């Protein structure tokens, strides 16, 4: 079975078989076999290819990393645990937003706290103009999942939907901006995901608690890691199920 993840990653980054072969010091036919026959490269080659393809080793070759190494690397990916989202320092949010240059992916219900920052949408617009890919997924205010979450968080009938609509008015300037895509989801939001290039804030969700009062994880992506990639794949799954946002 071909390694479609590797093929896609190379194509997405404009890398030819010849370029990869030259970079890692192997024959072009060897690189072709890594793709068409799903052969697994040596570790030193995997690391270099993953860096070139801007993907993790565990994503490109899921079975190549020993379980014990995966566990060790996952622990290294976890930078810090915060008792609740409100405890994440403002300085950390500032740095993540400022330094992101390639990817911003946000999966939330409303993320109203982000647009309380006066320059947030302007910063996203500037990043998109500079070539960054911005993908924002909000809870559909008309959906059953939003209504249920509002009940579970004891917010009162329609409160969460109203909060989402309120947030969307602040995100409206991003409508039609090249490089910015926004969608609505109707899924169970197990975690809010805030990705800025190779770092993430994961806001876990706890039954009966509002998101701001639930624990948060600061993750930093490592090539051989699995933790960051798990949340990245989760974002992608929700994104593929979501529909274009309407304002």
| Residues 28 and 106 grouped into a single domain | no
Average confidence (pLDDT) over 159-179: 93
pTM: 0.75
Q: What does the pLDDT read at residue 73?
A: 61
Average confidence (pLDDT) over 153-179: 89
**pLDDT higher than threshold 80 for residue 241:** yes
| Residues 80 and 199 grouped into a single domain | yes
Q: What does the pLDDT read at residue 71?
A: 56
Q: Is 180:124 a contact under the CB 8 Å cutoff?
A: yes
Q: Is 123:171 a contact under the CB 8 Å cutoff?
A: no
Q: What does the pLDDT read at residue 150?
A: 84
| Residues 147 and 118 grouped into a single domain | yes
| Residues 141 and 210 grouped into a single domain | yes
Q: What does the pLDDT read at residue 108?
A: 96
Look up the domain containing 83 and give its range. Answer: 73-244
| Residues 97 and 57 grouped into a single domain | no
Q: What does the pLDDT read at residue 1?
A: 82
Single out the residue of 197, 242, 200, 234 nearest to residue 218, CA to CA: 200
2-11, 51-60, 80-89, range with greatest mean pLDDT: 80-89
| Residues 188 and 97 grouped into a single domain | yes
Domain boundary residue among 16, 42, 64? 64
- pLDDT tens-digit map of 32-77: 888 898 888 888 888 888 888 888 887 888 777 666 666 556 578 8
| Number of domains into which the chain is organized | 2
| Residues 45 and 106 grouped into a single domain | no
Domain boundary residue among 22, 38, 64? 64
| Residues 164 and 208 grouped into a single domain | yes
Find the CATH number of the domain harbouring 18: 1.10.260.40
Q: What does the pLDDT read at residue 68?
A: 60
Find the CATH number of the domain harbouring 205: 3.30.870.10
| Residues 127 and 198 grouped into a single domain | yes
Report d(CA 204, CA 192) in Å as an integer: 6
**pLDDT higher than threshold 60 for residue 245:** yes
| Residues 46 and 84 grouped into a single domain | no
Task: Tell me what the pLDDT averaged over the chain comes to.
Answer: 89
| Residues 196 and 87 grouped into a single domain | yes
Q: Provide the CA 158 distance to its chain's centre, in angstroms.
A: 28
- pLDDT tens-digit map of 102-147: 999 999 999 899 998 889 999 999 999 999 999 999 999 999 999 8
Q: Provide the CA 50 distance to its chain's centre, in angstroms.
A: 17
| Residues 46 and 156 grouped into a single domain | no
């Amino acid at each position: 079975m071909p390694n479609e993840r590797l093929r896609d990653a190379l194509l997405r980054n404009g890398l030819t078989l010849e370029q990869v072969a030259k970079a890692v010091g192997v024959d072009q036919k060897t690189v072709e076999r890594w793709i068409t026959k799903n052969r697994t490269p040596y570790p030193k080659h995997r690391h270099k290819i993953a860096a070139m393809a801007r993907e993790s080793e565990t994503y490109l070759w899921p079975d190549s990393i020993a379980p014990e190494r995966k566990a060790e690397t996952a622990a290294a990916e976890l930078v810090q645990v915060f008792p609740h989202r409100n405890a994440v320092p403002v300085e950390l949010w500032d740095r993540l937003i400022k330094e992101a240059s390639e990817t911003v992916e946000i999966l939330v219900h409303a993320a109203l706290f982000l647009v309380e920052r006066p320059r947030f949408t302007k910063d996203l617009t500037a990043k998109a103009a500079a070539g960054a890919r911005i993908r924002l997924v909000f809870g559909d205010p008309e959906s059953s999942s939003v209504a249920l979450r509002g009940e579970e968080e004891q917010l009162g009938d329609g409160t969460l939907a109203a909060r989402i609509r309120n947030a969307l008015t602040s995100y409206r300037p991003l409508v039609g901006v090249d490089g910015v895509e926004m969608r609505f989801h109707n899924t169970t939001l197990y975690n809010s995901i805030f990705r800025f290039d190779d770092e993430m804030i994961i806001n876990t969700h706890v039954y009966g608690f509002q998101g701001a009062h639930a624990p948060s994880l600061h993750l930093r992506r490592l090539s051989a890691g699995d933790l960051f990639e798990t949340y990245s794949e989760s974002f992608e799954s929700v994104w593929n199920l979501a529909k274009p946002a309407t304002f």
